[in-house]
Amino acid sequence: LGIQKNKNITETIYLDQAIKDFERRFNAKTQNEQDWQDFLRKYILIFYTNYTAIIEKKNISLSGKYPDFLPINVYNYLDIYEIKKPNTPLLNLDKSRDNYYWSKDLSKAIAQVESYLFYANRNSLELKEEIKRKEGLDIKVVRPRGFVIAGSHSQLKNEAMEDGLRLLNSSLKNIEVILYDDILNNLKVLLERLRGSKKKGKQKIRKKGRK
């Protein structure tokens, strides 16, 4: 019980610090793509609890295009991320048809992820063997999922834009665009859950003490 309690306290403090760092970067006037790539690489295992390991691109000597880091989930499947900035434009309006389409920057990012997925699928056996040899991990490269982290909800000025983003996201094949503030909100919910479990633990200890 004491070990679990200390673990929860440590996780709460670490996550709270990560959220504060995230908010500081998110609200900064100047945004740097490399800084965000480094930041998310550092914290992705705590941001996304379904991941257990990260493979660095520098450890992959295969020919082809790969992102800076490749997360491995709890089932040993490989995912692929492309990191842009919170102020990266998301959508443009086609006035003649009154609908939205991906911005130039997002279109490029999505195309880049499609390229990563192509190379990962094409070199799946070699990729598995290389990671097994260098990292000691038995991964699975079976239709990897691709994610683009970019933009924020502040860009979605009305319901039509929100609907447009949802429609465009649903039309992508095995790729999803994730907004920065969605990640931040999910982290805050996770922190409240950790704090809630810590409060419940204290209440149980108090009840035992009264008996």
Average pLDDT, integer, range 196-207: 56
* Count of helix runs (H) and strand runs (E) in the chain: 6, 7
Q: What's the token pair of residue 99?
A: 């609908």
**Tokens encoding 194:** 């950790």
pLDDT one-digit tens code per residue, 148-181:
999 999 999 999 999 999 999 999 999 999 999 9
| pTM of the predicted protein model | 0.86
pLDDT tens, residue by residue, 14-27: 899 999 999 999 99
Is the pLDDT reported for residue 124 higher than 80? yes
- Res 205: pLDDT: 44
Output the average pLDDT for the chain: 88
Instruction: Compute the average pLDDT of residues 127-134.
Output: 91
End-to-end C-alpha distance for the chain, whole angstroms: 19
Instruction: For 65-107, write each residue's pLDDT tens digit.
Output: 788 889 999 999 999 999 999 999 999 999 998 899 999 999 9
Entry field: residues in the chain: 211
- How far apart CA 196 and CA 200 sit, in angstroms, is 6
d(CA 56, CA 47): 18
Q: How confident is the model at residue 121 (pLDDT cuts 50, 70, 90)?
A: very high
